[in-house]
């Protein structure tokens, strides 16, 4: 069935739902397979796939469009629709049928924990968990790049399986920021306009950014031999910065009203190839060449192999991949 959702981040949208035998509609996506449940504030560490309750509704009109809503279905509208959008990005762009490329849909939980200002993917429950924000500045963690980020953790687990510590952990996190961002560019929503800022809707003005990751006060702009000792959400800066530079090039640029000023290392100047080509290269590197122990040097090799496969070793795309890694001091 097709429902109507009053979402908190993207206005009024359609929702793919299922009419059940008892005459009520449920947040079961009939084609993509994911289902959306209320965790009833159970903590992330206590949840499993059978926890919580499936969202159901009599008239198939869901939510009230408000942030911090008292209508518990509002966060579910965004979570359900943004999971579908992420699924569609992977299917349309790469022919990938869901997280494991086997058509299996995930379980999506909203209202996890109490004032839990976070979201995460769990391989164990094949589920996404989203919290309600911090109760003051940060609303429910169900915006599009966040959902794309978390679902991408499942894709990474099913492919390169990058170990979640050290440099491979930074690459794992960068992979989620890259494809979370690309889902936003794919959706091209007029309210949540595409950018290189991460979690900008649910953690305003943003949680991380790709043009100059160090602007968050924690993330690395460039590789150094100690970068693998940072938290994985900060060593990701090297990969995120590579992605921005490969997509848009070095220097200053204003896109959809946001001004980016991306620095480079080693005197490297980068000519952008656009984010679709940069993402295609990263996806092929992730799914064909990276392994659980790939580090930044290995990511340079993997993406160059991918660029050679897709565009040829003498292509401008190949040259940009190399220049962007040199610019983030991965040589
Ligand atoms: N939001 C975080 C992530 O997806 C969750 C975490 O680090 N546990 O990386
Ligand atoms: Zn993550
Ligand atoms: Ca964003």
Cα separation, 145 vs 143, whole angstroms: 6
pLDDT at 166: 98
Q: Quote the pLDDT of residue 168.
A: 99
Q: Give the contacts of 108 (CB within 8 A, at least 6 positions apart).
A: 34, 35, 36, 37, 79, 80, 83, 127, 128, 130
What is the predicted ipTM? 0.93
Q: Which of 117, 140, 158 is where one domain is finished? A: 158
Structure tokens at 130: 């989203």
CATH code for the domain of 296: 1.10.390.10
Give the whole-angstrom CA distance, residue 279 versus residue 108.
25
- Total number of domains constituting the chain: 2
153 in active site: no
Query: Among 158, 186, 217, where does a domain finish?
Result: 158
Distance 312 CA to ligand 1 centre (A): 36
Residues 199, 66 share a domain: no
| Ligand positioned closest to the Cα atom of 197 | 3
| Alpha carbon 42 to its chain's center | 24
Q: What is the DSSP letter of 188?
A: -
- Residue 150 annotated as catalytic: yes
Assessment of whether the complete model's pTM goes beyond 0.90: yes
Q: Do 111 and 196 share a domain, yes or no?
A: no
Whole-angstrom distance, CA of residue 104 vs CA of residue 202: 27
Do 127 and 207 fall within a single domain? no
Domain region containing 202: 166-327
Q: Does one domain contain both 138 and 206? A: no
What is residue 60's predicted lDDT score, i.e. its pLDDT?
Answer: 98
| Cβ-contact 198, 208 below 8 angstroms | yes
Q: Where are the alpha helices (H) located in the chain, listed in sequence order?
A: 73-94, 144-158, 166-187, 232-248, 275-284, 296-311, 316-327
Q: What CATH number is given to the structural domain containing 126?
A: 3.10.170.10
Q: Are residues 125 and 230 in the same domain?
A: no
C-beta of 118 in contact with ligand 1 (< 6 A): yes
**Residue ranges of the chain with per-residue pLDDT less than 70:** none
Same domain, 144 and 184: no
- Are 187 and 295 contained in the same domain? yes
Q: What are phi and psi of 248, to 5 degrees?
A: -110, -15
pLDDT in tens, 198-241: 999 999 999 999 999 999 999 999 999 999 999 999 999 999 99
Query: What single-letter DSSP state applies at residue 3?
Result: E
């Amino acid at each position: 069935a097709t429902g109507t959702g009053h979402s908190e981040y993207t206005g009024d949208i359609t929702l793919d739902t299922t009419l059940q035998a008892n005459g009520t509609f449920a947040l079961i996506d009939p084609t993509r397979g994911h289902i959306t449940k209320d965790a009833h504030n159970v903590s992330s560490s206590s949840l499993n796939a059978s926890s919580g309750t499936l969202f159901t509704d009599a008239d198939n009109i869901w939510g009230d469009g408000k942030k911090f809503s008292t209508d518990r279905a509002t966060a579910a509208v965004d979570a359900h629709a943004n999971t579908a959008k992420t699924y569609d990005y992977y299917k349309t762009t790469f022919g990938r049928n869901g997280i494991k490329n086997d058509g299996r849909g995930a379980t999506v939980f909203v209202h996890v924990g109490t004032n839990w200002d976070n979201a995460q993917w769990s391989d164990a429950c094949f589920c996404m968990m989203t919290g309600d924000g911090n109760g003051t500045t940060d609303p429910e963690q169900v915006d599009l790049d966040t959902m794309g980020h978390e679902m991408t953790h499942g894709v990474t687990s099913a492919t390169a399986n990058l170990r979640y510590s050290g440099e491979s952990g930074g690459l794992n996190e960068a992979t989620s920021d890259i494809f979370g961002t690309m889902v936003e560019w794919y959706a091209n929503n007029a309210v949540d306009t595409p950018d290189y800022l991460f979690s900008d809707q649910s953690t305003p003005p943003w949680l991380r950014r790709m043009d100059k990751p160090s602007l968050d006060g924690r993330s690395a702009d460039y590789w150094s031999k100690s970068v693998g000792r940072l938290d994985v959400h900060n060593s990701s800066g090297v990969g995120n910065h590579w992605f921005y530079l490969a997509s848009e090039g070095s220097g200053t640029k204003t896109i959809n009203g946001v001004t980016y000023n991306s620095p480079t290392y080693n005197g490297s100047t980068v000519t952008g190839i656009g984010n679709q080509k940069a993402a295609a290269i990263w996806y092929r590197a992730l799914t064909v060449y990276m392994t659980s122990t790939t580090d930044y040097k290995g990511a340079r090799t993997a993406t160059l192999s991918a660029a050679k496969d897709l565009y040829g070793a003498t292509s401008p795309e190949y040259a940009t991949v190399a220049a962007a890694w040199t610019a983030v001091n991965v040589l």
